[in-house]
A and B are shown apart, each in its own frame.
Chain A
Amino acid sequence: MRPILLSGHERALTQIKFNPDGDLLFSVSKDQQICVWFAHNGERLGTYKGHQGAIWTVDVDPTSTMIASGSADNTMRLWEIKTGRLLKTWDFPTAVKRVEFSPDGRQLLGVTEKRMGHLGTIVVVPIVLDVNAEQSDERDLTIVCDESKATVAGWSYLSKYIIAGHEDGSVSQYDAKTGDLNDNIPIHELNMQVTDLQWSPDRTYFITASKDKTAKLLAARDLELLKTYPADTPLNSACITPKKDYVILGGGQAAMDVTTTAARQGKFEARFYHKIFEDEIGRVRGHFGPLNTVAADPTGKGYASGGEDGYVRVHHFDKGYFDFILLGVLIFAASHLTEALAFEDTGLFRDKRRNAPLGASV
């Protein structure tokens, strides 16, 4: 597996995102550029210029016509993917830490930072999926997080819920129509902030990464804890791979301690876990800083990771990745197979045990 290194950024990456077709990769970093790359060969298609501060987040709409970005310059912006044209700027009192388009692309949520006397909020704005249309300034919804600020948020299936991860390690479910808080569950350790929240392809469940060194798989409907993936380092990002039942976790030594840590010690590796069996099944090294963000190609052919070191590494999986079957799966399948055979009762197994010549009773 030969990774493609994308070095278009001068500072630490904050988020990377594939478009739904998996051919474009958007990356944002603490420098003030958004880059878009062709995922298959790492060619840079262009950059989106306009933000005046570190960019925290980017998301692409389901039709790959527009992207939204959120920045520390207190704005959320909408861009045309093809030309790099700025379509709309929404101003906020504080930085925008997370944006996400709804599954139908008609709404966009933004998570604003709690700062300067302003509480953290989740804002929903309507979007017209036409590059020439006038985008409205009004807000569909504003959810104020008075308890603990939201760090990440996303839309569940059918835009039914808004799921948010909080600074105190809890995850909450809001009604996406009314903005009412349905549920808030302390999923991660207290005051270990949720650093990432990414969806399964059908948005019925999602994975959260946290500073408490675990990633957890939760159901969107009732926030039921499905799986836990323990790691040995604070996690910054986690994603679910399509096609194969794996999850990828990214993290590493806290960014401020990086210069005093060796690459091996820093654990700057992408970790692969089996989604169902929760076993760690592999690691991919390469970054020389913590992984700030990982993203799986929606077509399942690869994944990309962005690090504190300013590099994006795009990986296209080898054949071995697709062929791998966990032993547990095999045993499970094999046990069912033998049961079935026993049920058929050919006598083959019993005779073997009695050391009778094979086929004696057949």
Chain B
Amino acid sequence: MASTKPRDWADDDEADEVAVELPPPQTIQNKDGTKTTITYRLNENGQKVKTTRRIRLVTHREVVNPRVADRKTWAKFGLSEKDSVGPQPDTTSVGENIIFRLSTNWRKDTKDEAKDPNANAMKEQLKDKTVKCRICNGEHFTARCPYKDTMAPVGAEGGADVAAGMGDEPATAQGGAAGKKGSYVPPALRGDRGGAAGERMGGSKYGERDDLATLRVTNVSEMAEEGELRDMFERFGRVTRVFLAKDRDTGLAKGFAFISFADRGDAVKACAKMDGYGFKHLILRVEFAKKAQ
């Protein structure tokens, strides 16, 4: 067709595509007893597809009853009438391998398989541990604490509690991180960071707050109100912020509060005077708040 008529470049050359001669299928006998067959076909886009198959023929001889052999030659019928020879992928598939070992103590065997010894040991360790927030001692993870951005952890007095104080003081954290090899240290706490300026860079939105003049008041009565605390501390100077931690469900105070003063001098005075002050049958403990993170 192409030879009889001068061809234009815009001509649809589909007809010619079909005419493209497919190379004959090849069969190569390999040295290791396998066969390589190369076949060519055209796909729906008219492109030539080369398929290379490597086949190893293994003759598995099985003696079957002639009746059984005869049945294997039967024509398919019903819904399988149009199926080709061999199992059809829509009705037949091969499941995952099942380890099936008969044994009288199979019950024990399967249990051992199911449980990783390490996971088991860990489970044992954590059996009677409950989740405890380092900030407010609530039953949730510290990361989920509603006061996480506003407060320092409760138990972090004087940096004695290293485990709880990890995030409180960068200095201790660094020391801890360096000591424990292999444990993950967030970039912000790594020793090689570029000093205080860098530290501030990605700080939280509360980073700017002047924590120098903030007092932490603990052992506060459940019945305490923010207003009462404000009144008490206002005597020493201008109070910029009073925060009293309250339980979300009951609305009762959790027993600690933060008081921020405008001036650090006032805070020092208040700290000295109010530490040990009796308030609602409880003796307050007042100290300077430590930096959260």
Q: Which residues of A contact B (CB under 8 A)?
A: 1-8, 21, 23-24, 33, 37-38, 41-49, 64, 82-84, 246, 272, 279-286, 313, 315, 317-318, 320-321, 324, 326-327
Whether A282 contacts B95 in the complex (CB less than 8 A), given A44-B80, A46-B81, A48-B78, comes out as: no
| A327-B102 CB under 8 A given contacts A7-B93, A21-B67, A42-B92 | no
The answer to whether B100 has its CB under 8 Å from any CB of chain A is: yes
A282 and B100 contacting across the interface, CB-CB below 8 Å: yes
B104–A3 touching, CB < 8 Å: no
Could you tell me the dominant secondary structure of chain B's interface residues? loop
Interface residue? B118 (CB, 8 A): no
User: Is there contact, CB below 8 Å, between B80 and A281?
Assistant: no
Q: Which A residue sits closest to B88, measured CB to CB?
A: A44
Given A6-B91, A44-B92, A281 and B106 touching (CB < 8 A)?
A: yes
CB nearest neighbor in B for A9 = B91
> Please, which residue of chain B has its CB at the minimum distance from the CB of A317?
B100
In the docked arrangement, what's the CA distance between A326 and B105, Å?
Answer: 11
Beyond A281-B103, A318-B100, whether A45 also contacts B77 by CB under 8 A is: yes
Chain B neighbourhood of A37, CB < 8 A: 92
> A46 touching B98 by the CB < 8 A rule?
no
Q: How far is the CA of A25 from the CA of B103 in the complex (A)?
A: 28
B78 adjacent to A84 (CB under 8 Å)? yes
A37 CA / B78 CA spacing, docked (Å): 12
Decide if B80 touches A45 in the complex (CB within 8 Å).
yes
Alpha-carbon gap, A321 to B106, bound state (A): 13
Residues of B contacting A285 in the complex (Cβ-Cβ under 8 angstroms): 98
Within 8 A of A (CB), among B39-67: 64-65, 67
Q: How far is the CA of A98 from the CA of B128 in the complex (A)?
A: 55
A327 with B104: CB separation less than 8 A: yes
Expressed in whole angstroms, the minimum distance between the Cβ of B91 and any Cβ of chain A is 5
Chain A residues lying within 8 Å of B101, measured Cβ to Cβ, are: 282, 320
Indicate if the CB atoms of B95 and A2 lie closer than 8 Å. Answer: yes
A284 surroundings in chain B (CB, below 8 A): 98, 100
Q: Which 8 A-B pairs have the closest CB atoms?
A: A47-B78, A46-B77, A42-B92, A324-B102, A46-B78, A84-B77, A3-B95, A43-B87
B94 touches A5 (CB 8 A): yes
Q: Measured between alpha carbons, how far is A344 from B94 in the docked complex, in Å?
A: 55
Q: How far is the CB of B84 from chain A (nearest CB, A)?
A: 10
Q: Once the chains are docked, how many angstroms separate the CA of A83 from the CA of B80? A: 11
Separation of A134 and B90 alpha carbons in the complex (Å): 37
List 13 additional A-B contacts (Cβ < 8 Å) besides A281-B102, A281-B106: A2-B95, A2-B96, A2-B98, A4-B92, A7-B92, A8-B91, A23-B64, A42-B87, A49-B79, A83-B77, A84-B78, A283-B110, A320-B100
Question: Can you spell out 21 A-B residue pairs with CB atoms less than 8 angstroms apart?
Answer: A1-B99, A4-B92, A6-B92, A8-B79, A23-B72, A41-B87, A42-B91, A42-B94, A43-B88, A43-B92, A46-B80, A46-B81, A48-B78, A64-B67, A84-B77, A282-B102, A282-B106, A284-B100, A320-B101, A321-B100, A324-B103
With a 10 A CB-CB cut-off, give which of B71, B86, B106, B107 has the most chain A CB atoms.
B71
Shortest beta-carbon distance, B258 to chain A, in Å? 47
Over the window 98-127 of chain B, the binary record of Cβ atoms lying under 8 Å from chain A Cβ atoms (1 yes, 0 no) is 111111101100100000000000000000
**By the criterion CB–CB under 8 Å, are B95 and A5 in contact?**
yes
Distance from B113 Cβ to chain A, minimum over Cβ atoms (Å)? 12
Whether B102 contacts A23 by the Cβ 8 Å rule is no
- Flag if A1 contacts B97 (CB, 8 Å): yes
Expressed in whole angstroms, the Cα–Cα distance for A281 and B88 within the complex equals: 34
Q: Interface range on chain B: under 10, 10 to 19, 20 to 34, or 35 or more?
A: 35 or more
Closest CB in chain A relative to B83 CB, distance in Å: 7
- How many angstroms from the CA of A284 to the CA of B71 in the assembled complex? 30
Nearest-neighbour CB distance to chain B for A303, whole angstroms, equals 11
In the complex, A41 Cα to B88 Cα: how many Å?
10
A317 to B74, CA, bound (A): 26
> Is residue B280 contacting chain A, with contact meaning CB distance below 8 A?
no
Instruction: Give the complex CA separation of A84 and B65 in angstroms.
Output: 22
Q: Taking CB as reference atom, which chain A residue is nearest B87?
A: A43
Contacting residues, chain A, for B95 (C-beta < 8 A): 2-5, 286, 313
A160 CB to nearest B CB, Å: 27
A45 to B97 CA separation, bound complex (whole angstroms) = 25
In the assembled complex, which residues on chain B have CB atoms less than 8 Å from the CB atom of A2? 94-98
> Which A residues are in CB contact (< 8 Å) with B96?
2
Taking CB atoms, residues of chain A closer than 8 Å to B107 are: 280
Whether the pair A43, B68 counts as a contact (CB closer than 8 A) is no
- The listed residue (A23, A33, A42, A82) touching B79 by CB distance below 8 A is A33
Task: Chain B residues near A64: list those with CB within 8 A.
Answer: 67, 71
Q: What residues of A have a CB within 8 angstroms of the CB of B93 in the complex? A: 4-5, 7
**A313 vs B67: C-alpha distance in the bound complex, in angstroms?**
24
Do residues A279 and B104 form an inter-chain contact, with CB atoms below 8 A? yes
Check if A23 sits within 8 Å of B68, measured CB to CB: yes
Contacts of A82 in B (CB 8 A): 71, 74
A46 touches B79 (CB 8 A): yes
Task: List the B side residues contacting A5 at CB < 8 Å.
Answer: 92-95
Are B77 and A47 touching (Cβ within 8 A)?
yes
Cβ of B92 and Cβ of A23 under 8 Å apart?
A: no
Q: Which residue of B lies closest to A85 (CB)?
A: B77
A33 to B65, CA, bound (A): 28
B273 within 8 A of A: no
Q: Which residues of the other chain, A, contact B98 by a CB distance below 8 angstroms?
A: 1-3, 284-286, 315
Query: Which residue on chain B has the smallest CB distance to residue A277?
Result: B104
Q: How far is the CB of B46 from chain A (nearest CB, A)?
A: 34
Are B106 and A280 within 8 A (Cβ)? Answer: yes
What is the chain A residue whose CB lies nearest that of B96? A2
Residues of B within 8 A of A283 (CB): 106, 110
> Is B241 interfacial (CB-CB < 8 Å)?
no
A326 — which chain B residues lie within 8 A by C-beta?
104
